[in-house]
Chains A and B, each alone.
Chain A
Amino acid sequence: MSVMTVAIIGTLTYWFFYVMDPYILSWQCLNRPIVVAPILGLLLGDFHTGIIMGASLESIFMGISAIGGSVPADALSASIVAVCYTVLTGSDVETGLAIALPIGTVMASLSSIFLSVSSALAPYWERLAVSGKPGSFLAQNLVFSGLIYPLPNIIIIFLGIAYGVTGLNQALNALPAFFMTGLTAASSMMVAVGFAILISMIWSKEVASFFFVGYIMAKILKMDSLSIAIIGAAIAITMFFYEKQLIDMKNMRVAAEQKPSEEEEDFF
């Protein structure tokens, strides 16, 4: 199989799995190495390499998980490039595995760039959602997630397989340092905008202090969110019954005020 054929099959497989999961199915399952590598091996006509690499790659990437939107290494692109490389060069599986992790790291930092840039679209999605055209909203989202957003990744994966991955790393290093730092900084602060909109909806003087209680529990006491939720629920339930008592008392007083007048009417 020629280099071009392998590059095209590898890129199309990447594209299929990248769009299918998480965007269409959201299982975080189909894009794992254990699924991708055997299927790509099958497509490239070297099933045995694919399935063995799938098992090894899954063992490597199993512990590397995405927490809070930042991924240390991208398992999907690493699997694709590693399998293509091994099938192309006919080298042993270990060499293919050795290049997987660096590719995963490069692709993860590229993904965080695109993620940061795509957050600029949030106001556009909001306007589109409120405009009340559900069909158009879904269609534009599907086109964006299926075609536009994956496009840079697809091109990079294709170039990486066809012309080698060293050039990719050099190109990334050639970018001015402040550009990368700026994008990473913007990405980690961007979520504050979403939070600010959300809080402005539920904020009131009565309950604002609990924002800081929740913050301190998570930041300083380092509690996990379930424990915080249980304490929060305890406060909320206490508050609920306290308010219930007030409502009951108010109802009783209203009833008591009405009662004498009724009796008077009966009396006369």
Chain B
Amino acid sequence: MEKRLLDNTEKKVLKSMFIRSHLTFLSFNMTKMEANGFTTTMQPAIEEVYKDDPDGKKEAYARHQNFFNTHAVPFSFIAGLSYAMEKEHKEKNSVDGKTIESIKAALMGPTAGMFDSLFFNCLRIIAAGVAIGLCSQGNFLGVPIFILLYGVTQSVLKYFCVKFGYIYGTSFIDQVFSSGLMPALRKSASILGVMMVGAMTAGIVNVPLNWTIHMGQTSVVVADVLNSIFPGILSIILVLFLMSLIKKGRRPVQLIVGIFAIAFIGAFIGIF
């Protein structure tokens, strides 16, 4: 892969994306987690790529408003990569929307795990250890050293990540497309994407059933019975049931209201 030089527009978009990528947790919520931060970061790219295509722009915004969750540093890498994919999608129609979704879904789980252990559980502990030593002696230097070691490093890495994601993504997609292997990539990306979403479902989705049926002397814990059939069977049923509702055209707001209703009714009659 030869080194690609960025033109001025690309430089401007990437710089804007880098600054916006600091808004990772903007309006964080339990439904889509970092989706708002990701949409904000993608805005300069989407506005640039789809400046004369309102329909494509709409689709791209919907795509990057989906559930997203990873560590703040690989967040920039995935954003840069998505910029590359959106550009290829618009200009050469080489990558389809589904492949973009799959690649994003495949990357967020493992990068989150990797960078959380690298930054949150390792670098933060080292930086805090140094800073605690200085501060406990009353030395103010501990504070800027902690910010420098743990905070500023993240920004510096974000800068390289967003650029690297874009350049690497473009040349990778070009190579695959020119050799006519896009259908193969599409399929393997969706395998990995679906598998990682399955793994994330196991980790994050939880139906907190706390229901015990008393029958005379014996009592049955319903959650234990269900989990002995298959661990976490309720989470799978919930996700797949909601998916079938979405495929039938139900709107997300109906599902959210429904979940609130079920949670409150369930809590009121004592099954949660």
CB-defined contacts of B247 to chain A, threshold 8 Å: 200
Query: A118, B252: Cβ atoms under 8 Å?
Result: no
CB-defined contacts of B253 to chain A, threshold 8 Å: 120, 123
CA distance A23 to B37 in the complex (A): 9
Within 8 A of B (CB), among A211-268: 211-220, 223-226, 228-229, 232-233, 235-237, 239-241, 243-244, 247, 251
Query: Assuming A52-B136, A132-B57, is B23 touching A198 (CB within 8 A)?
Result: no
Query: A121, B102: Cβ atoms under 8 Å?
Result: no
- Check if A169 is an interface residue, CB within 8 A of chain B: no
CA distance A103 to B152 in the complex (A): 29
Query: Assuming A145-B26, A193-B256, is B40 touching A137 (CB within 8 A)?
Result: yes
CB-defined contacts of B255 to chain A, threshold 8 Å: 193, 196
CA distance A237 to B91 in the complex (A): 27
Binds A, one of B77-85, B161-169, B193-201: B193-201
Query: Assuming A48-B138, A132-B54, A194-B35, is B22 touching A179 (CB within 8 A)?
Result: no
Least Cβ–Cβ distance between A97 and chain B, in angstroms: 13
CB-defined contacts of A189 to chain B, threshold 8 Å: 205-208, 238, 259, 262-263
Mask for B149-161, Cβ within 8 A of A = 1, else 0?
0110011000000
CA distance A87 to B74 in the complex (A): 41
Within 8 A of B (CB), among A18-77: 22-30, 32, 34-35, 38-39, 47-48, 51-52, 54-56, 58-59, 62, 65, 68-69
Query: B102, A202: Cβ atoms under 8 Å?
Result: yes
Contact among B29, B110, B154, B204 with A229 in the assembled complex (CB-CB below 8 Å): B110
Query: Assuming A236-B191, A239-B187, is B25 touching A22 (CB within 8 A)?
Result: yes
- Check if B189 is an interface residue, CB within 8 A of chain A: yes
- Check if B112 is an interface residue, CB within 8 A of chain A: yes
Query: A198, B105: Cβ atoms under 8 Å?
Result: yes
Contact among A115, A195, A223 with B239 in the assembled complex (CB-CB below 8 Å): A195
CB-defined contacts of A137 to chain B, threshold 8 Å: 39-40, 43
Query: Assuming A52-B135, A218-B203, is B29 touching A27 (CB within 8 A)?
Result: no
CA distance A22 to B102 in the complex (A): 27
- Check if A191 is an interface residue, CB within 8 A of chain B: yes
Binds A, one of B7-15, B120-128, B212-220: B120-128
Query: Assuming A189-B205, A202-B190, is B106 touching A232 (CB within 8 A)?
Result: yes
- Check if A129 is an interface residue, CB within 8 A of chain B: yes
Query: A210, B198: Cβ atoms under 8 Å?
Result: yes
Contact among B27, B109, B135, B236 with A225 in the assembled complex (CB-CB below 8 Å): B109
CB-defined contacts of A62 to chain B, threshold 8 Å: 124-125, 128
Query: A210, B195: Cβ atoms under 8 Å?
Result: yes
Contact among B37, B39, B242 with A196 in the assembled complex (CB-CB below 8 Å): B242
Query: B27, A149: Cβ atoms under 8 Å?
Result: yes
Interface residue range, chain A: 35 or more
- Check if B185 is an interface residue, CB within 8 A of chain A: yes
CB-defined contacts of A202 to chain B, threshold 8 Å: 98, 101-102, 105, 190, 193-194, 197
CB-defined contacts of B102 to chain A, threshold 8 Å: 202
CB-defined contacts of B106 to chain A, threshold 8 Å: 229, 232
Nearest A residue to B250, CB-CB: A196
Query: Assuming A195-B200, A197-B246, is B231 touching A29 (CB within 8 A)?
Result: no
- Check if B72 is an interface residue, CB within 8 A of chain A: yes
CB-defined contacts of B1 to chain A, threshold 8 Å: none
Query: A228, B199: Cβ atoms under 8 Å?
Result: yes
Q: Of A23, A30, A118, which is in contact with the most chain B CB atoms at under 10 Å from its CB?
A: A23
Query: A34, B67: Cβ atoms under 8 Å?
Result: no
CB-defined contacts of B185 to chain A, threshold 8 Å: 240
Contact among B62, B203, B245 with A129 in the assembled complex (CB-CB below 8 Å): B62
Query: A236, B61: Cβ atoms under 8 Å?
Result: no
- Check if A171 is an interface residue, CB within 8 A of chain B: no
Contact among A130, A178, A233, A235 with B268 in the assembled complex (CB-CB below 8 Å): A178
Closest 7 CB pairs of A and B: A214-B198, A243-B184, A194-B67, A196-B242, A182-B267, A229-B110, A186-B263
Apart from A185-B272, A198-B105, 9 more pairs, CB < 8 Å: A52-B138, A62-B125, A119-B256, A122-B29, A181-B267, A193-B31, A225-B196, A225-B199, A244-B181
Give 17 CB contacts A-B under 8 Å.
A25-B151, A47-B140, A68-B203, A119-B29, A119-B30, A123-B252, A125-B27, A182-B268, A188-B207, A192-B201, A194-B31, A198-B66, A202-B190, A203-B194, A218-B201, A228-B109, A240-B185
Which B positions have Cβ atoms within 8 angstroms of A?
Answer: 22-33, 35-37, 39-40, 43, 46-47, 54, 57-58, 61-67, 72, 97-98, 101-102, 105-106, 109-110, 112-114, 120-121, 124-125, 128, 131-132, 135-136, 138-140, 142-143, 146-147, 150-151, 154-155, 180-181, 183-185, 187-208, 231-232, 235-236, 238-240, 242-243, 245-247, 251-253, 255-257, 259-260, 262-264, 266-268, 270, 272
